[in-house]
Amino acid sequence: MSIFTLQSLAGGFLDEDLEHFNKYFDDWCIQFESYEDAQDIAQTLENQEAIDIVEITPLTYPKYFFSELKGTIYTTRQIDDKIICVVEPSMGSSFKIAICDLKTKKIRLTKTNYKSIPSIEGAFVNFGVK
């Protein structure tokens, strides 16, 4: 499951009006089901050399696929049909591990709070290991 979008080399994703770049990828950004479709539109734009076609997946951009996921995401990995993320739900809050289910689109945050990235690394790396 992936989509394609147009991104400025300076950062930001092309909006549906094909004129402005949004800092964050959201519902207003232009998106395509295939690389070829994105390429067709990119070729019609001015400054083509300043625009890249990028692939957005749940692993690389979980906030788009899981809109209920709030906060800053620091790292992700996939285990079976789940995307596991290290999340800071709000600025300055404790870190948590979020389990995002690709099939149901549901999100569950672990109950354990972690005060820093080094303290959560061990739990994140070993998450799901049996």
Q: Phi and psi for 127 in degrees, rounded to 5? A: -60, 130
Q: Do 39 and 5 touch, CB atoms closer than 8 A?
A: no
pLDDT attached to residue 91 = 86
Rounded Cα distance, 74 and 71, in Å: 10
What confidence tens digit (pLDDT) does each residue in 74-107 have?
989 999 899 999 999 888 889 999 999 999 999 9
Q: How many C-beta neighbours within 10 Å does residue 64 have?
A: 19
Average pLDDT of the chain is 89
How would residue 126 be classed by pLDDT, with cut points 50, 70 and 90? confident
pLDDT attached to residue 26 = 81
Q: What is the DSSP letter of 48?
A: G
